[in-house]
Amino acid sequence: MLRSSLIVAGAALVCASASAQQQLPASKLHPITATPKKITVDFVTGKRIAAGSQALAANVQTIYNNTCTWATAAYYSGFANCEENYDEGRIPSTAPGSGSPVSFDGFSFAYCTFNAASFSCEIAFANNAGGQCAGLVAQTPPTWAASTIYTEIDLTPLGLPGSTTDNFQACWIVGITNLGLCIEADGDGSFDGNPTTDLFTWGFHHNMPAQPAGPEGIFISGDPNVAAGGSCTYNIPCGVDPFTGGPCGTGLDTDDASWINDDGTPIGSSVPTNCPTGVAMYGYGTNCYWFGGWPANPLASYYFTMEGGRTCAACTGGATYCTVNPSFNGCLASMGSTGLPSIANPAGFSITTSTAPGAKNGIQFFGLNGPNNAPFSNGVLCVTPPLIRLPVTNTGGTDGGCDGTLSYTMAIVQSQAANFGTPISAGSTVHQQAWIRDPNSAVTNAVSNGITYTVCP
């Protein structure tokens, strides 16, 4: 719900004058009274990771950090569920150890809620979204076009925590790991001093019902009084947060403004029944907003970190090839993948066979000696031997249907390759295929097409 069909807000860029922004009412500022709790969730498995047990690769760094609380108090910004909120920052391409595109393996954000239900929200990212919010000219909401969208993530299936009961404030700092993605540093891979192209954009939308005791919202962060600009990004020293006492960052090139899409029109242009129509909230509608100006008031910027830090220009997802042979009942078992095949995050890359015969046992197998196109059972062998088998699993779905799936992470592929004395490393090219038992066919099995991917650092 982060992309309006008519206007999609983007970065709150350099706001040189108060007249270029619209001031939010004081009712948008809410004190954080509950002690924030921390959790980390694996994006691939949906499982929560115990504090202190997360293993990160040595070359994973903090590539953006905006976490420093306002020096005199801790607040969050209250959002209605008809609003979509967009903030900005910069990932440097020239810091020691950096590059572009850069790996984006995880992020964290922080929210307060008064709902007992699990927290439902979407978060989206763009390499850059353009637009401007500067000087005396009218604000220009950037067009978040399909070509600039990096990714959009629905976090609802992860079951993020809410409150113990309705109308009691609960605040959470949530880390999401195992994304296995890449993003351009400096917006387009190089720094040129133009905020329209140098900054990334991230957007937030929640789907929680309003409670009488208070609204949902994200922590307000990034106070320059606490630490130097850009603190905790790559090699810039962190500050000390006055609220938590821990290290904090000020968000490289974040600004005292954020875009709010307040037109009540989400993706698909259909207005929800509980959202206003025809009347712009706050009198300014979709626009660049602030809280009255720093340092007298908190920055209009939100708690957010990004972790990654390895160059992944050679990283690409899997590419399919070869021929699918239909099963007895016409199922076309097709290979696909999600994430990036990275040695630093092998669990973040999944190789999946979909539309396979349901409720059948099957396997995927792979090889490291290139593609093939030889007759095989009732199909085509797409992998050059020797073949290494992955563990047998059931496709699930319904017997007689084509809703079965087989899915393995690259971590499992790595482990099996090592067991057979052929370790996978950066630069290895893998070819992979699926075989599913199909007792109804003459040759008792179905064979998928192939998929290939080259492993990056």
Q: Is 308:60 a contact under the CB 8 Å cutoff?
A: yes
The 10 Å CB-count burial string (b at 16+, else e) for 236-255 is: bebbebbbbeebbbbbbbbb
- CATH architecture group of domain 319-454: Sandwich (2.60)
Distance separating alpha carbons of residues 290 and 255, to the nearest angstrom: 10
When comparing pLDDT for 126 and 453, which is higher?
453
| Delimiting residues of CATH 2.60.40 domain(s) in the chain | 319-454
The 10 Å CB-count burial string (b at 16+, else e) for 25-59 is: eeebbbebeeebeebbbbbbeeeebeeeeeeebee
Q: 270-277, long-range: CB within 8 Å, 24+ apart, which pairs?
A: 272/81, 272/82, 274/81, 274/82, 275/81, 275/82, 276/82
Model-wide pTM > 0.85: no
Predicted local confidence at residue 168, as pLDDT: 96
Structure tokens at 367: 């090889």
Predicted local confidence at residue 101, as pLDDT: 76
Structure tokens at 208: 């929680």
Each residue of 213-234: pLDDT tens digit? 999 999 999 999 999 989 999 8
pLDDT confidence tier of residue 140, bands split at 50, 70 and 90: low
pLDDT confidence tier of residue 452, bands split at 50, 70 and 90: very high
When comparing pLDDT for 56 and 344, which is higher?
344
Range with the poorest average pLDDT among 205-219, 272-286, 349-363: 272-286
Predicted local confidence at residue 137, as pLDDT: 44
Each residue of 27-49: pLDDT tens digit? 889 999 999 999 999 887 788 88
Distance separating alpha carbons of residues 327 and 445, to the nearest angstrom: 7
Asked whether residue 285 carries a pLDDT value surpassing 70, the answer given is no
Q: Is 310:344 a contact under the CB 8 Å cutoff?
A: yes
Distance separating alpha carbons of residues 217 and 205, to the nearest angstrom: 10
Asked whether residue 71 carries a pLDDT value surpassing 80, the answer given is yes
Asked whether residue 26 carries a pLDDT value surpassing 70, the answer given is yes
Residue with tokens 């809280």: 291
